[in-house]
Amino acid sequence: MHPRRTVASASSSFCTQSIRHLLVLSSLCHFITGYAEDDKVHHLMSRYPLIDGHNDLPVQLRILHSNCLSQIDLHSVSRVATDITRLRAGHVQAQMFAAYVLCSAQDKDAVRLTLEQIDVIRRMCQENQDFELVTTAQELKNAETRSKIACLISVEGGHSIDSSLPALRMFYQLGVRSMTLTHNCNTPWAESSSKKHSVYQRQNDSLTHFGKAVVEEMNRLGMLVDLSHTSLDTASAVLNHSRAPVIFSHSSSYSICNHSRNVPDWLLHELKKNRGLIMVTFPTEYISCRDKADISQVADHFDHIRHVIGAEWIGVGGDFDGARSFPQGLEDVSKYPALIKELLQRNWTEQELAAVLRMNFLRVFEEVEQVRDRLSPDPPSEVWIPVEEVQNPCRLVLRIPDVWKPANKGPSSRAQHGTPGRMFSDEAVPRLLVGHE
């Protein structure tokens, strides 16, 4: 063989082997790097396990199982995105579970239905050793030291209190620590971001006098005021009125996806002044404004909000089991580590991610409790909503039945005919239960 061809052949063989070695080395480095990143995510989320601001498993338990917890194993639940096994895999240490009832229940049996949903959350979290029902920031932290998944109860939609501050207080007594002021319908006192329902339309009054009383009473009780689902005007009015930090428990960036459920930059600045929290949510329609999305697009929302107001005002509110579709790679609660990995690759610091995962929510919850403590000398609010603002034919009022009142015979009838015993009056007996007549 010609010497030059021999050298060329040897050289070619050497180059081929070198390329193969480089490819193998590159693959090995990629594998090692990927493993190192996964390991870093695991250690980070083990030290700062996630507090998730919104989950709709309870309504799925009602739809799929009629709230019959005895018939299911909460460690493995089919046809949903949430169960204990997947919460553990996702490093979820605290979950805000929503007691949600449809807007069609407004002015009907919303209070009863909400009580039933609170009941199923309480049972779920008290009958399973992996869960622990908590009502304070300290209890939440204590649960973490015992390796428990802390359960917080929220009410999703102000229609659930039927425009009643006493009902709000009773929900608090049952363990509710957060309430969204609206869902996809207006209440008589606050305005929704949705136009699906035409109830309680008002002009230039997105938070009524009674609505402000609701916010004030939530501040006094120590309940988180949740602005997800509210209109921009209502959210702005609440931010100007609340004495405690508020949250958007499951909302994303309007600048990235201009959906009415998302928060524009100008309102993010108002939220920062309030020392509140936006907990980025995952439903596809809020992430991409399209039918499909991926983890990268979710991370875009985090990046944008961090750029606008900083990482210290951001949390996570997945909204699992509350929407039709979720981004590829974030299909259920076990997939949270994939999001944190994406953010690490985008140069988010461990300190920033610790804040987003956990510390920001704890800070807000503790500040809400501090406002509660300062307001503790204040008595419970006795503000009642005017009957004409509710417009509910099923709503009962407390007044004297007409059949108990003597016939009106004019101003001189009592002097002419006398009155045996005590005259009934609205002032004398104000609380006899009858309906509208």
In the set 52, 132, 319, 332, the catalytic residue is 319
d(CA 368, CA 137): 10
Per-residue pLDDT at 1: 53
d(CA 85, CA 64): 19
Q: What is the dihedral angle through the alpha carbons of 234, 239, 243, 246, rounded to the nearest 10 degrees?
A: 90
- pTM of the shown model: 0.85
Per-residue pLDDT at 67: 98
In the set 52, 156, 270, 321, the catalytic residue is 156
Per-residue pLDDT at 176: 98
Per-residue pLDDT at 7: 41
Per-residue pLDDT at 13: 54
Per-residue pLDDT at 204: 87
Which residues fall within 8 angstroms of residue 218, CB to CB, at 6 or more apart?
168, 179, 224, 225, 244
Per-residue pLDDT at 394: 81
Predicted confidence pLDDT, tens digits, the chain (437 residues) = 555 454 445 455 545 565 565 555 555 545 455 568 899 999 999 999 999 999 999 999 999 999 999 999 999 999 999 999 999 999 999 999 999 999 999 999 999 999 999 999 999 999 999 999 999 999 999 999 999 999 999 999 999 999 999 999 999 999 999 999 999 999 999 999 999 998 999 888 999 999 999 999 999 999 999 999 999 999 999 999 999 999 999 999 999 999 999 999 999 999 999 999 999 999 999 999 999 999 999 999 999 999 999 999 999 999 999 999 999 999 999 999 999 999 999 999 999 999 999 999 999 999 999 999 999 999 999 999 998 899 888 887 777 766 655 555 544 433 333 333 333 334 433 333 333 33
Residue 269 catalytic?
no
Strand 314-316 versus strand 397-398 pairing type: unpaired
In the set 52, 91, 162, 183, the catalytic residue is 183
In the set 107, 144, 217, 250, the catalytic residue is 250
* φ, ψ at 91 (rounded to 5°): 60, 40
Whole-number CA gyration radius for the chain: 28
Residue 209 catalytic?
no
- Domains annotated for the chain, with CATH where assigned, are 39-374 (3.20.20.140), 396-437 (no CATH)
Residue 229 catalytic?
yes
Nearest to 224 by CA among 208, 234, 238: 238
Nearest to 165 by CA among 245, 220, 108: 220
Residue type, 19: I
Q: Is 344 exposed, middle or buried (0-12, 13-18, 19+ CB in 10 A)?
A: middle
Tokens representing residue 101 in the block: 């009832």
Residue type, 34: G
d(CA 109, CA 159): 10
Per-residue pLDDT at 426: 41
Residue 54 catalytic?
yes
In the set 91, 159, 229, 301, the catalytic residue is 229
Which residues fall within 8 angstroms of residue 23, CB to CB, at 6 or more apart?
none
Alpha-carbon distances of 50 from 13, 152, 154, 356, 387, rounded to whole Å? 53, 13, 17, 8, 43
Residue 437 catalytic?
no
d(CA 127, CA 13): 68
Buried b (16+ CB within 10 A) or exposed e, 364-393: bbeebbebbeebeeeeebeeebeeebbeee
Per-residue pLDDT at 292: 97
